[in-house]
A and B are shown apart, each in its own frame.
Chain A
Amino acid sequence: MPNTIHVAEYLDLDVDSERWHCHSCGQDVGDARDNYKKGLLIHERDPGEVHPPLIDGEFTFAPNPEWIRILEFYCPGCGRQVETEYLPPGHPITHDTEIDLDSLKRKLAAGELRIDEHGKLEVAT
């Protein structure tokens, strides 16, 4: 059984090779010690394309596109929307998940943690 953890809805972490993979299509999306978003495709949208204005005026139910944008992150293999982030224009993309691989490997090897048949971590009892 591969040493793989299903770490996010659309992300698997291959512990041995230290690579991120798309959970839907298996596409390699990069070094698991780096930000997985670097291995995805990025598209910027006006938030009004998802949240359309419903009335006229300054406050319309749609976020103000000068203040905030939607960044969509796609799997280059299957096109799944792996992540989205609402950011002001130019704001750095968040490095949201930085798993300590050394600690993880140590705890798995020591039998403190184990990976179940669904790719989920649990404390070994």
Chain B
Amino acid sequence: MSYPSLEEKLAALKVSEPTAYERSCLDAVSPGDYEIGVQRTADILDEGYEVFMRSSRSQMGVAGDSIVAMFNAQGDLVNASAGTYLHAVIPPIVIKYILKNFQENPGIADGDIWYTNDALYGGIHNPDQVAIMPVFFEGELVAWTAALSHTTETGACEPGGMPVSAKSRFDEGMNLPPMKIGHDHVLRHDVIEMFAAFGLRSETSVTVDLRARCTTADRVRVRLLEMFAREGKDFVTGLFRRMLIEAEQGARKRLASWPDGVYRCATFSDSAGTEHGLMRNCFMTMTKKDDTLHLDFTGTSPENGSSYNAHPQAVIGHLANYIYEYVFHDLPISSATFQPIDFEFPPNSMLSPAPNAATSCAVMAATGAMSSIANCVGRARFGTTEWRQVTASLGNGGNASVLAGVSQWGMPFADMLAYTINTEGQGARSHSDGINAYGFPWCAFGRAPDVENMENELPMLVPFSQHWPDSGGAGKHRGGVGTAQLWVTHHVPYVVFMSIADNSIVQTPQPLFGGYTMCTCPGLSMEGVDIPELLRAGDEGTLDLASLLAGKYGGQIVSETYARTARPVMSDQVITLGISTGGAGYGDPLDRDPQAVEKDVTDGLISDWSATNVYAVRFNERTGRVDPEATTAFRREALAERKARGKTWDEFHEGWSQRKPPEEVLGLYGSWPDAAVVNPLMRM
């Protein structure tokens, strides 16, 4: 076997040395032509992204949780259109692997279609799959194109591609190392059959998404060839190299203004698959020096025997989500922007597990890294003129639910419900609240499907969707709230339901500068509810989360962790309550404008309880409006109470340093409190 080592993967992320020919082509790109050329690459990629969404079948593909990218001949990422930044910086690992290992046998030729979904070789997790095509111009390899997206079926031990009960990679269904699945511009029929077999639970989405990736990579290839023919090889070659040079300069310039120093963040989670236990799911030490960043994950809990592990490049992919949304938002999506960033991963941690580890829920394992980077960068950046870009962490809950079975149209299906994941709250911003139901932290541009679309595609009814009060972290600026949506099986005898998440016992994101983070998310279903009555209330618009939790429609609430293994739900029964996390809060809640608190209550974004107890706002009981004088007095009192009850550092540590969480919840943690590996993990 020759899967790339960690060192090889990290090296592949670095931009290749320009060849003498590339250097000579730089002069072919004059100012003006350069900007037009950059825009042409963006236009080509945007067209590809549109083709991708329109030709995909799975909910996430249709929602645009995808990326389309182009690379130079050496495999450096030059530009991309997204979708999701998750896949932004890591495809070069795969292309450089193909270039290194398969030049002779099977050879790299015009019309090839290459493919992989194996995180061991450079992906995120096996539902995330990429089609890659070399671009040959006048017989010479001049570029590469790629299309990546998430398909919700891999033939694993549970439906949906992200089995929470997987113990090793051998429970995760299809894992393809980089391989040639088509030649001469034709996708091999025996390969399509293999995908259909692995995708038996949801054959159409698996095979249609496969074709969508290939056709998208090919569209970009065709458009690039037109560009080569029109502008000449020297120009496009020079353009690509200049784009890499300028992107790197832009990234370095941005980092240079932040104060040098060390910034840290510790985050925690509560589960590895179906096993509950406290984990330090990220301990990030970010060292900023001149125009470079060094990210060290030492102190992150050990790898575990579930699928909640992430290979290092998958972690880097998750960091790209935040970095392209908030830091390099105005730079091209390019290998070069990550050139000034180096990484260190402790071996056998949950962010650098052994090759046989299950990693299909890597997106869960990496939530700590996603949250920590927002926190560390926020601290490094607030003291600069870029302070307006500082935000508290996004929700990063990723509460993903999967439905499978046979649809009302007689079609086998297994799909992820894109609504919940695509409506999380944004982290509160340094100058304003986070956006409510802003989107998917893994894919800023992913769209929540319409209810009508969901009810048409899947055998279910959606009696209500709403903003979820108190789900955004409190603060001077409030985290955006998430959503709640109810699902009821309909039209079919039963569906199979499962759910992927943690965050039912503790929340991972840390808040920023004195705010609070979001509350935890239980996995809720209802037994014995009066469904006709509930649907009537839904039609009338009186059905909401509060009335449901208050038991207004009878029956019993069943509360579990949000992560649940696959189970059948019979017709006209509540499947579950889908809830998405809000964003983390920013700043002292006592600093929040009382009028904004009043508006939040009116808009149903926070409860009366929070207005009084967290924001210390007093209302005129008769009018229901803020009482400014009473609020000022109440807050003054609250500030004084803090000073009276707060302990000094030394006083506090007398008691604190003697304590420890219960031994029975530390089984996944590693050594206390350093989270180092204690016992090597045995996998079958």
Q: Taking beta carbons and an 8 Å cutoff, which residues of A are in contact with B?
A: 5-10, 13, 37-44, 49-52, 54-64, 66-68, 70, 72-74, 76, 78-92, 94-100, 103-104, 107, 113, 116, 119-123
Contact = CB atoms under 8 A, between A and B. Distances in A.
B261 A9 contact: no
A104 to B, nearest CB: 5
A41 B376 CA distance: 23
B664 to A, nearest CB: 10
Contacts of B661: 66-67, 88-90
Given A122-B385, A123-B253, A99 B643 contact: no
Given A9-B382, A90-B656, A96-B263, A43 B516 contact: no
Interface in B521-548: 521-524
A120 B479 CA distance: 25
Interface residues of B, number: 81
Contact of A83 (B470, B513, B648, B656): B513
B379 A79 contact: no
A80 B638 CA distance: 10
A113 B255 CA distance: 12
Given A72-B642, A79-B643, A92-B673, A120 B385 contact: yes
A115 B346 CA distance: 38
A61 B522 CA distance: 6
B622 interface: no
Contacts of A13: 383
B389 interface: no
Nearest to B591: A80
Contacts of B476: 9
Interface in B626-670: 638-643, 645-649, 652, 656-662, 665
Given A50-B474, A59-B504, 10 more contacts: A7-B382, A8-B513, A43-B646, A49-B613, A57-B522, A67-B661, A90-B661, A98-B261, A98-B263, A120-B385
B223 interface: no
Interface stretch (B2-10, B233-241, B264-272): B264-272
Contacts of A49: 613
A38 B649 contact: yes
Closest 3 CB pairs of A and B: A41-B646, A79-B639, A90-B659
A99 to B, nearest CB: 4
Contacts of B522: 55, 57, 59-61
B561 interface: yes
Contacts of B470: 51
A119 B382 CA distance: 10
Contacts of A10: 513-514, 587-588
B505 A59 contact: yes
Contacts of B387: 6, 120
Contacts of B514: 9-10, 72-73, 80-84
B515 A42 contact: no
Contacts of B257: 113, 121-123
Contact of A87 (B266, B549, B643): B266
A66 B647 CA distance: 21
B264 A96 contact: yes
A120 B384 contact: yes
13 contacts: A7-B259, A8-B383, A49-B613, A54-B549, A55-B559, A60-B559, A61-B522, A66-B665, A74-B646, A86-B511, A89-B660, A100-B259, A113-B257
Contact of B384 (A9, A68, A121): A121
Nearest to B585: A84
A64 B648 CA distance: 26
B278 interface: yes
A72 B470 CA distance: 19
Contact of A79 (B261, B474, B640, B659): B640
A53 to B, nearest CB: 9
B671 interface: no
B260 interface: yes
B385 A116 contact: yes
B416 to A, nearest CB: 22
Given A43-B647, A70-B516, A83-B513, A59 B263 contact: no
Give the most central of B259, B289, B614: most A CB within 10 Å: B259
Given A7-B382, A42-B649, A74-B646, A59 B559 contact: yes
A9 B657 contact: no
B647 A42 contact: yes
Given A50-B474, A81-B590, A121-B259, A63 B383 contact: no
